[in-house]
Structure 1
Amino acid sequence: MLLQDKEVAIIGAGPVGLTMAKLLQQQGVAVTVYERDINAQARIWGGPLDLHKGTGQDALKRAGLLQHYYDMAICMGRTITDKQVNLLFRRIPTPEEEYDNPEINRNDLRILLLESLAANTVVWDRKLSGLTALDAKWILHFEGKPDVVADFVIGANGGMSSVRKYVTDAEVEYTGSFIIQGEVPDPEINCPEFYQLCGGNILMTTANGITFTANPNNNGALMYGISFRKPESWFIENRPDFQDVGSIATLLSDMLADWHSVYKEPFRSTSLFVGLPTRKIALNHWKTNRTLPITLIGDAAHLIPPFAGEGVNTGLQDALILSDNLTNGKFDSVAAAISNYEQQMFVYAGEAQLQTSINEIAMHEPEFSFQKRFSE
């Protein structure tokens, strides 16, 4: 086996990094995951994830975790309204659709993956500061922590990955949209009208180039996102303070001034806001003269905005293909296994980026209709 007697270091304990660790570990590979979070209880911010058949679900199936995912996930319907709360479309999932992209809380998915790994696979409180090549090994440097040594490094630490510069010169680019996310605890109490409008489904509304989506069932909280197109200078000039909950609530209320008041109800009860300029990274400029084994998976490799739900699924596809290449006995070297994975990834991740870009532009056009999209 290519990785016999080799130590693999995965940077990042997100769903992609942990799945990669599981897939390698079940083939007898020595793997350690280094994560900057303090411990396994650190809360992961963000809305639920839906894993797709053919990509994310296939990776979990290979890992022997697909049924566990089904047991923990929720199949959500869709409620589509206009800005005056008129119901345009509602779809309740049928029993046959129970396993089509059900939604799972990010923290629940992390726990599921962690519990599948050998004890002490993840080393917490390790923020990577750099890598050094020495004597055919990688020396991993961490802020305030001892160095460690590995034979092979896999960067799975997200869109702003510190590993990326060792693999590619590509720069992260702003795609032209901005998302403001908010969370409301106990929504049935804190925003009852809006919660009722959702009807237990994912709510989707769009008007005048603004999209509003909400999931009322994220481990007892309602998670919502409002996206809109703005030049990057807008963020620099306005500098919204997302720690000031009141000012962001006012900003959103003003933005939705001509929308029905029920859409503004969640703003007053939001416990935390996060602002996200949407970004991507070009799939070129990857270095071909890497002397030691190193590569990227997930957002570290191909940052994709959330407008097609492809980010985590493409990352899990990375983990499935790369782990298979490294353990199936079909390649003569680790370098060849990595190269084959990367050439495949450039194709399917490029297609995911393209579809996401098409969706991003279309969803923020004034005439865009969720109703038409879901009824087609």
Structure 2
Amino acid sequence: MLLTNKKTAIIGAGPAGLTLARLLQQNGADVTVYERDQDPQARIWGGTLDLHKGSGQEAMKKAGLLHNYYALALPMGIVMTDENGETLFTKESTPENQYDNPEINRNVLRNMLLESLTADTVVWDRKCTGLEVLNGKWLLHFENGVQETADLVIGANGGMSVIRSFVTDTQVEDTGTMIIQGDIPDPELHAAKFYEWCDGKRLMAAHKGNLLVANPNNNGVLTYGVIFKKPEEWSGRTESYFHDSNLIRAFLLERFADWDDRFNNLFRSTSSFSCLPTRKFPLNQPWNNDRPLPITLIGDAAHLMPPFAGQGVNTGLLDALILSEKLTNKSYESLEAAIKGYEAEMFIYAREAQLASSTNEIEMRQPDFSFKQLIH
């Protein structure tokens, strides 16, 4: 095997990085995952994830974890409404569709993957700040001054990866969309009417270029995202504005003033918000071939995309599956050849996923977008 007597370093303990570690360890590889979070208890920001058949679930199956995922994930129906709170469409969770793409909390998924790895695979509090070549190996630099070496480096450290420059000069692009996320712990107490309205389903509503998606069961938290085109006046605002919950709440109450009051009560019940622009790392041109040592990227580090087709994590898990197969395939003569084979496949399916996400993003931002169009 190409990885025999080789040390593999995976930068980032997200779903893609941990799944890759699991798949490589199943083949006897020496793998270490370096993660910037302080410890496994660090809460991961964001809504739930749903793993798709043919990609995310296929990776879980190969890792021997598909039934673990099913046991921990929550099948959820969908309810679509208009701005007045009128139900347009309802999809129930049934025994027939419960395994299609059940939702799982990000921390729950991380813990499931961590438990599948050998002890001490993940080294915590290791924020990678750079790489260099020393004596035929990669020398990894971390923020706390620690250094490590590896024969193969795999960047799985997110959309703003600091090691991407060893692979490509392409830069991340802002797509022009904003997402405001709100979290409400114990929603049955603090947002009772909205929580009851959801009835255990994901609730979605769209009107005049505003989209709201709510999940009432994110491991005891009601999580929702408000999605809209970034206003021109926001370009000149300082960072402090986006961390001021009172200002963000006032913005939402004004923007949703003509919506059903249950939406505005949701904003009033939210104590803190997170604001972020959506970004894309385009795959417009081939990556560099003159890398000094074996290195590649997976997950958001490889193909960051807006979260509007449910493809981000699934594409990352497909990366882990395919790259692991290439690295453990005896038909390749070198690590570089295996990596090249992986990247050739990844560019095809990741581009398709990015296109689907971008198409949905543009459509949902249109002032006349409505779920009525999708239903009728």
Give the TM-score, by structure 2 length: 0.97
Matches within 5 A, 1:277-292: 277-283=277-283, 284-292=285-293
Residue 256 of structure 1 deviates from its aligned partner by 0.7
Q: Which residue of 2 aligns with 1:51?
A: 51
Q: Which residue of 2 aligns with 1:145?
A: 145
Change in Cα spacing, 1:75 to 1:371, as seen in structure 2 (3 Å) is farther
Write the deviation string for residues 191-223 of structure 1: whole angstroms up to 9, x where unpaired.
Answer: 111112212100000000100010000011100
Q: Residue 46 of structure 1 aligns to a residue in which SS?
A: coil
2:101 and 2:158 map into 1 onto residues whose CA distance is 22
Residue 232 of structure 1 deviates from its aligned partner by 6.7
- Residues 257, 264 of structure 2: 8 Å contact kept: no
The CA RMSD over aligned residues, in Å, is 1.4
1:131 and 1:157 map into 2 onto residues whose CA distance is 14
Residue 166 of structure 1 deviates from its aligned partner by 1.1
2:28 and 2:214 map into 1 onto residues whose CA distance is 42
- Residues 82, 371 of structure 2: 8 Å contact kept: no
Q: Which residue of 1 aligns with 2:300?
A: 299
Residue 269 of structure 1 deviates from its aligned partner by 2.1
Q: Which residue of 1 aligns with 2:320?
A: 319
Q: Residue 67 of structure 1 aligns to a residue in which SS?
A: helix
Q: Which residue of 2 aligns with 1:336?
A: 337
Q: Residue 194 of structure 2 aligns to a residue in which SS?
A: helix
In structure 2, give the amino acid aligned to 1:156. A
Residue 262 of structure 1 deviates from its aligned partner by 0.8
2:87 and 2:18 map into 1 onto residues whose CA distance is 40
Q: Residue 96 of structure 1 aligns to a residue in which SS?
A: coil
Change in Cα spacing, 1:164 to 1:17, as seen in structure 2 (3 Å) is same
1:71 and 1:241 map into 2 onto residues whose CA distance is 41
- Residues 174, 232 of structure 1: 8 Å contact kept: no
Residue 240 of structure 1 deviates from its aligned partner by 6.0
Matches within 5 A, 1:75-224: 75-224=75-224
Give the TM-score, by structure 1 length: 0.97
Q: Which residue of 2 aligns with 1:256?
A: 256
Change in Cα spacing, 1:133 to 1:226, as seen in structure 2 (3 Å) is same
2:70 and 2:271 map into 1 onto residues whose CA distance is 29
Residue 41 of structure 1 deviates from its aligned partner by 0.6
2:271 and 2:337 map into 1 onto residues whose CA distance is 49
Residue 372 of structure 1 deviates from its aligned partner by 4.2
2:271 and 2:53 map into 1 onto residues whose CA distance is 34
- Residues 50, 102 of structure 2: 8 Å contact kept: yes
In structure 2, give the amino acid aligned to 1:333. S
2:180 and 2:61 map into 1 onto residues whose CA distance is 33
In structure 2, give the amino acid aligned to 1:345. M
Q: Which range moved further: 61-70 or 237-246?
A: 237-246
Unaligned runs of 5+ in 2: none
Residue 367 of structure 1 deviates from its aligned partner by 2.6
Q: Residue 246 of structure 1 aligns to a residue in which SS?
A: helix
Residue 370 of structure 1 deviates from its aligned partner by 2.5
Q: Residue 31 of structure 1 aligns to a residue in which SS?
A: strand
Write the deviation string for residues 322-375 of structure 1: whole angstroms up to 9, x where unpaired.
Answer: 0000002121111010001001111110010111111001112223233443x4
Unaligned runs of 5+ in 1: none
- Residues 155, 298 of structure 2: 8 Å contact kept: yes
Change in Cα spacing, 1:231 to 1:261, as seen in structure 2 (3 Å) is closer
1:289 and 1:88 map into 2 onto residues whose CA distance is 54
- Residues 88, 371 of structure 2: 8 Å contact kept: no
Residue 291 of structure 1 deviates from its aligned partner by 2.1
Residue 251 of structure 1 deviates from its aligned partner by 1.0
In structure 1, give the amino acid aligned to 2:168. T
Q: Residue 305 of structure 2 aligns to a residue in which SS?
A: coil
1:162 and 1:238 map into 2 onto residues whose CA distance is 24
2:182 and 2:260 map into 1 onto residues whose CA distance is 18
In structure 1, give the amino acid aligned to 2:268. R
- Residues 182, 274 of structure 2: 8 Å contact kept: yes
Write the deviation string for residues 68-126 of structure 1: whole angstroms up to 9, x where unpaired.
Answer: 00000011101111111111111102211010010000000000000000000000000
Q: Which residue of 1 aligns with 2:356?
A: 355
Residue 156 of structure 1 deviates from its aligned partner by 0.1
Q: Which range moved further: 302-311 or 194-203?
A: 194-203
- Residues 170, 285 of structure 1: 8 Å contact kept: no
Residue 150 of structure 1 deviates from its aligned partner by 0.3
Q: How many correspondences in the alignment?
A: 375
2:346 and 2:12 map into 1 onto residues whose CA distance is 19
- Residues 13, 122 of structure 1: 8 Å contact kept: yes
2:178 and 2:202 map into 1 onto residues whose CA distance is 20
